Structure 1
């Protein structure tokens, strides 16, 4: 595919005010919005466009970086820069498939973009559960799902979550969802009522909160965090200024920093929420080990909504999650699920019941945790000389970059070395400030030796920053 730079854009560029890199970015942005540059169009290489416009390559590179961070452009290693299919920085399904293909065809490529679980026997257990589910009553494969028919499934979930402090919980209060993200969306639909609602997230947070809010036409505002999580004083100020009605947070394993919110801080946060009548959604999907503090639902039964899944314990492939409402709000949550997607399919629900009820499952979860911990230790051994936040029971690490590196430049350099990372920018609000850091996810699909080789490649980059800081 040839590159595209319509001649009309050169004249448009000359007419715009401001610094050259902003003029280039504004010109490309306008061209995409008007359709002059179509989705999928390939832009010229940095040096080629710089020559055409009689400006420096660094100016063009800076403009491309701004638009890539916005999600308007997408840079693909070895292929070039394209107009993205959608205005997000979230990797789409095509790119995801490309990463899997790269790992199969190129032994040097390792994706550390999202956690991938090691197989310690759960694949065989899932296959066995699928065979058993296929032998269910034939009418179950012909009828719509019903709530009463899924009672045994929900009870299996209650038993599965019995080691989590959730407060009083019965099977009637469990809502089955298509993974954790669907659970977040379901809860938000049950909560948000105003014509123009506002939700709060940490200044750095799981991007899925923001994506769900955007789909529901809700405004998103950030709350300051420190090493212990949300700062109560900031939370109070944001609520007063924005009128937000919901807080989305991950106190057990903060994504992306891996930090933990201790009990005293949670209680301080709840005092603020109670004072303003604000509800809280706790996303517990990333926790692999035992909980270190009671959930918000246990501490505030009238305010706390809980979301979790089996994605980081058994498998993300089945897309099974669980949503739990505060006391007295289960009917609202059930209504959204029943009218939104009619619940899980009967075969999937039956597979879930079989898996969660199997006495071999929890020991396998423990083994997954241990094996993933070995990958974390390998990463720490390779990168421990740098400012690294980690926990053996968290499937990712948070690396603050040393002097000489910027997050965007580092992720691009890592990609050039066959290692895919997430920049801190991807977890920040669109108008927020991101620290100079990256998240390194554990990839249990590759061997420990191959994972270690990827860590050593990152260490070589960290030890040798570029002479000029790239933006």
Structure 2
């Protein structure tokens, strides 16, 4: 861990932002190298004489700027600012070194760390589309309509666009009345849980689950219980047993492109899971952010719409930065979802919802999705051509792969070895629920690197690490 202490002299503004600005300057001057581990929140707070909360806000601001990235249980690390700003993958539209609007350069530097921890695609197509759409909004004479408060569930036109999008890209047959706007999938998940559970209530999920679900449960006081999974996802018998023993209020799951294993649950199992939830009166919270990638995987919401709160967003398909999410709620739960939105955020931002809705109506969003699908498939093929076949698991169109480590590798040693070679991946322990023992595996995000060349560089380093058995034994020397 670095002994970095920022120089705050002469800086003005909110203290958390001053710290983030100092961090940005030190990265730009290379006083903080790429890959450096930052002090803990408590340690830096002590050095600066500020509260831990101030440092937490400063790190969050820096992460939002793409300067740093956190790894659960390992710390916070400096990442390549060029690669993090716009890691747009579409070489067909822009070359890796081509300047984008605003002077941003796409793709990481040749010697920088390859960050493969995050599933955060960004789109060169979206950059120009955003400039055009904001110009059109400004010229429309309707700008004032997007600066006031919106209804808690969102403006009617935005809910209609959301319903059209869900039918077109996610195969969810719904109406505008059933669609409520959220600020991204994480917020949609928070809203859904708030609508059906209270602090202390039990929520069951896959024993390896989305880090966002773990963070949310810890923050809001839900008791998260992991349920066994296999190569097809959540195990029905284990879910049934958990329902009998625990009496959970809700089941949170990602049946399509499970995060982190990239498994797609078969239709028969989806039907079985829905039947068990109905039998025990458990509300299903279905996270379908990756559903656009698998057209033949029907959401559980289409099987059991009356007991399912369906959540998704445009983050993985269109743009992470728009922060536009959707909750589809059955009639008996809509008022509770709307009340949760009011309590947590009052309403989703109307300007970004307007941008998203125009893209949906004009077909821009569909074009971005088509490009994203093509790029994800290309990167999967790249990964499977470089990595040993027996180590790679998950659906062949996912934005990530689940890498099961061969003997004698242990995940912590492997992560250290890949970091030594300039690549950062996420260990299985980050996804483990409670005291569940995590397998010796890592998640490798394929869409974060700014170009296919950068992704290939990272994948080759991972492949080289797999072939370094001596390093795998260092922890027991």
- Alpha-carbon distance in 1 for matches of 2:418, 2:34: 10
Query: What is the Cα deviation at residue 128 of structure 1?
Result: 1.4
Secondary structure of 1:316's match? coil
Indicate the residue corresponding to 1:159 in structure 2: 164
Indicate the residue corresponding to 2:426 in structure 1: 422
Secondary structure of 1:454's match? helix
Query: What is the Cα deviation at residue 432 of structure 1?
Result: 1.0
Query: What is the Cα deviation at residue 377 of structure 1?
Result: 0.9
Secondary structure of 1:251's match? coil
Alignment of 1:359-378 (within 5 A): 359-378=363-382
Q: Per the alignment, do residues 428 and 327 of structure 1 end up closer, same or farther by CA in structure 2, a change over 3 Å counting? A: same
Q: Does 1:295 align with 2:299?
A: yes
Secondary structure of 1:248's match? strand
Query: What is the Cα deviation at residue 228 of structure 1?
Result: 0.9
Indicate the residue corresponding to 1:38 in structure 2: none
Q: Per the alignment, do residues 332 and 425 of structure 1 end up closer, same or farther by CA in structure 2, a change over 3 Å counting? A: same
Indicate the residue corresponding to 2:91 in structure 1: none
Query: What is the Cα deviation at residue 245 of structure 1?
Result: 1.2
Indicate the residue corresponding to 2:269 in structure 1: 265
Alignment of 1:428-439 (within 5 A): 428-439=432-443
Query: What is the Cα deviation at residue 374 of structure 1?
Result: 0.9
Indicate the residue corresponding to 1:181 in structure 2: 186
Compute the RMSD of aligned alpha carbons: 2.7
Indicate the residue corresponding to 2:359 in structure 1: 355
Which structure: larger Rg? 1
Q: Per the alignment, do residues 236 and 133 of structure 1 end up closer, same or farther by CA in structure 2, a change over 3 Å counting? A: same
Contact 2:154 2:347 (8 Å CA) reproduced: no
Q: Per the alignment, do residues 403 and 149 of structure 1 end up closer, same or farther by CA in structure 2, a change over 3 Å counting? A: closer
Q: Per the alignment, do residues 405 and 148 of structure 1 end up closer, same or farther by CA in structure 2, a change over 3 Å counting? A: closer
Secondary structure of 1:466's match? helix
Q: Per the alignment, do residues 79 and 312 of structure 1 end up closer, same or farther by CA in structure 2, a change over 3 Å counting? A: closer
- Alpha-carbon distance in 2 for matches of 1:261, 1:413: 33
Alignment of 1:126-145 (within 5 A): 126-135=130-139, 136-145=141-150
Query: What is the Cα deviation at residue 222 of structure 1?
Result: 0.8
Alignment of 1:6-405 (within 5 A): 79=36, 82-85=39-42, 94=62, 96-97=66-67, 98-101=78-81, 103=83, 104=108, 107-117=111-121, 119-135=123-139, 136-146=141-151, 150-163=155-168, 164-167=170-173, 169-193=174-198, 196-405=200-409
Secondary structure of 2:200's match? coil
Indicate the residue corresponding to 1:45 in structure 2: none
Taking structure 1 as the reference length, the TM-score comes to 0.78
Q: Which moved more, 1:132-141 or 1:325-334?
A: 132-141
- Alpha-carbon distance in 2 for matches of 1:280, 1:2: 44
Query: What is the Cα deviation at residue 217 of structure 1?
Result: 1.2
- Name stretches of at least 5 consecutive residues in structure 2 with no aligned partner: 4-32, 43-51, 68-77, 84-107
- Name stretches of at least 5 consecutive residues in structure 1 with no aligned partner: 4-75
Query: What is the Cα deviation at residue 101 of structure 1?
Result: 2.3
Contact 1:372 1:444 (8 Å CA) reproduced: no
Contact 2:182 2:327 (8 Å CA) reproduced: yes
Query: What is the Cα deviation at residue 206 of structure 1?
Result: 0.5
Secondary structure of 1:302's match? helix
Query: What is the Cα deviation at residue 363 of structure 1?
Result: 2.5
| Residues 335-381 of structure 1, C-alpha deviations (whole Å, 9 max, x = no match) | 21133212122322221221211123212311221022111111110
Secondary structure of 2:79's match? helix
Q: Which moved more, 1:432-441 or 1:139-148?
A: 139-148
Taking structure 2 as the reference length, the TM-score comes to 0.77
Structure 1 segments of 4 or more deviating over 4 A?
76-82, 84-88, 102-106
